[in-house]
Each structure stands twice: as structure tokens, then as C-alpha cells.
Amino acid sequence: MKIENLAQNIAQLLKNAQYHVLQTVNQTMVLTYFEIGKMVVEEEQAGKQRATYGKQLLKALSAKLTQEFGKGFSEDNLSNMRKFYLVYHAQISETPFRKSTNTNTPFKLSWSHYLKLMRITDNQERAFYEIEAYQNNWSLRELQRQYNAGLYARLALSKNQEELHTLATKGQIVEQAKDLIKDPYILEFLNLPERQHYSENDLEQELINKLEHFLLELGKGFTYVARQHRISFEEKHFRIDLVFYNRILKCFVLIDLKIGELKHQDIGQMQMYVNYFDRAVKLEEENKTIGIIFCQDKSDAIVKYTLPENNTQIFASKYLTILPSQEDFKHLLSQK
């Protein structure tokens, strides 16, 4: 048994070492590409005004570097390195994010991540996705998914200029319940056609089947607790669709799924669930329970007048089962 434990510990040590070596290689490569881009730009700016000079430079440089180092230095790749420098050279100062780890490079993601990030034209939005990708260890695929689902736009809806600056320098900061809420939630990973007829039980089952994806969409700090959680009092029984716990806010998060339009009775039911958890389940040192109702459609007026003015616990959000087009997404956000 001791030998097995020793072998497991050594295996974990080796895996950690491999990970750190890979991280170091990636960061060194990205920083090298940044320096190559810088050298190309400086050469272009050294008095060469002809529009064709840049193309000629990249072509000649590609031929020489490919001959000596092999693949990886095509004209397109060199052009990307040039663009990388132009995009990031003004952003490598000592920001809170770039001082957040003990590394000697301002670039903490892979080259593939930066190829995606460079295509985001808004500086604040680009910085936000860079921070979130690093802090949440997003793969390139997950970065693409979060961008396509408009995470930044959805979080930025209710932010003022100072709060937007915080998103771009520190990423998403979760300090209170409203910081967790998105509207709409994008559930395209379920692969449910937009107008397919399905029940609330079907939707719940699909979310459980794709729990890892759902946790990513919910956001930071969520852990799964239960589904169809039963609560009983005075010989009456109720079931809460999904129960989560948020480690950052130290509170339970209850989710109820509704097909169709949200009704005021649905909000009242969620209020009862939240009250029950606050009074019968949560520990004294834990914070108040949060309730989120997922619905296909809602009236903001019904939500507003059903809930108390000082509400900080109950929220209603639409959900979409397909990624909207850019035009549809802008329309959705403009309605907020």
C-alpha cells in the first residue's frame, strides 16, 4: 500500500513538472513571437515608406527563416506575429492581471489563444477574455465558445464605465448575487433545436447530462449539489429542479426551469424555496440563498412588481438553446 501511495505521489509530481515545462515553453514561444513582431515593425518603420515594402520584407524573411528553422515561419505566420506586437505592445505595462502571477512574461496563454484574441477589436473586451481564459484555464475551444456566447456583452449590460474598466483589468469579480447573473443564459451545448417540443424534465435531464458545460455557463465558483431536491412541510412536498452551491459567495443557488413564459406564481414559488433554504438548510455562517428562474420568455414588469424593491436574492433570466446570430444578439442586448 505504501509503495502504491509513493508511486501515485511521484506520478503526480512528474505530471506537475510536465505541466510547468509545457507552460514555460508556451510562454517563451509567445514572448519570442512578440519580439519577432516588434523587430519586423521596427524594420518597416525605419524610413521605408513604400506600401509594398512590408510584403516584400515578410516574403524574404519567411524564405530565410524557413530554410534555417523549417515550418512555422510562413508569410502568414510572420504577419500574425507582426499583428500580435501591434495589438499588444501598448498593453504589456504592469496591470493588475499581468502582475498576478510570478512569471517573467506578460503573456500567460498559448499562441493559439492569442491568435483568437487578436481578432477581437475592442480593447476592453479582448483584455477581459484574456484574463478569464487564464484564470479559468479555458481551452481554445472554450474561449471560442464563451466569445460566441457573448459572455463579455452579457456581463457588461448593467456596468458603468468604472465597472467595465474592472472587467478589462481584473476579469469578472463576484462579490454579490447580481454579479453571478447572466441574461440570457446560452445553452447551445445541449444541441436542442430552438422550437423542439420538450418538457421541463427533458431540459433538466439534458443539463445534467452536460453538467460540465452547464457549470461553465453558470460561471465562477459553482458546484453541483442535487436535482429534484425534495422539501416537505405540513405534509406537503415540493421539488426544486437543481441545487448548486457557490464557493465564492458561500451560499446555495437554486434553479427552477420553466418552459414558456414566466408567471408571477413561478416567482412566488421560488421565493418559498429560497425562504425554506435560508431558514431550514443554510448554516449560520453561510450567506443568503439565491434563486434563479430559467424561462423562455418573461415580462420585466411582472418580475419587477412581484419581487420587493430591495430584492437581492431572486432573479429571472431567459435561456436560449441556440447561439443567436450577431444581429439577433445585438437586438437581445439592446432590449435591456
- Would you say residue 148 lies in a domain? no
Q: Kindly report each contact of residues 127-136 with a partner whose C-beta sits within 8 Å and lies 24 or more positions away, as own/partner.
A: 127/91, 127/97, 127/168, 127/169, 128/152, 128/167, 128/168, 128/171, 128/172, 130/97, 131/97, 131/168, 131/169, 131/170, 131/171, 132/171, 132/172, 133/109, 134/97, 134/108, 134/109, 135/171, 136/216, 136/220
Which CATH number characterizes residue 260's domain? 3.40.1350.10
Whether 106 contacts 140, CB under 8 Å? no
Which DSSP helix (H) or strand (E) runs through 225? Answer: strand 222-233
What digits encode the pLDDT tens for the residues 99-118?
555 556 788 899 999 999 99
Domain that holds residue 60: 1-89
**83, 183: one domain:** no
What digits encode the pLDDT tens for the residues 46-92?
655 555 677 788 888 999 998 888 888 899 999 999 999 999 987 76
Average pLDDT over residues 35-39: 91
- Would you say residue 158 lies in a domain? no
Average pLDDT over residues 147-154: 88
Q: What's the total number of domains in the chain?
A: 2
pLDDT for the residue numbered 16? 80
- Would you say residue 111 lies in a domain? no
Domain boundary among the residues 62, 89, 116 is at 89
Domain boundary among the residues 89, 117, 143 is at 89
**What's the pTM?**
0.80
- Would you say residue 118 lies in a domain? no
In whole numbers, what is the pLDDT of the chain averaged over residues? 86
Pairing relationship of beta strands 251-261 and 236-246 according to DSSP bridges: antiparallel
Phi and psi, residue 8, nearest 5°:
-65, -40
pLDDT for the residue numbered 218? 94
What digits encode the pLDDT tens for the residues 113-127?
999 999 999 998 999
Domain boundary among the residues 89, 117, 149 is at 89
- Would you say residue 84 lies in a domain? yes
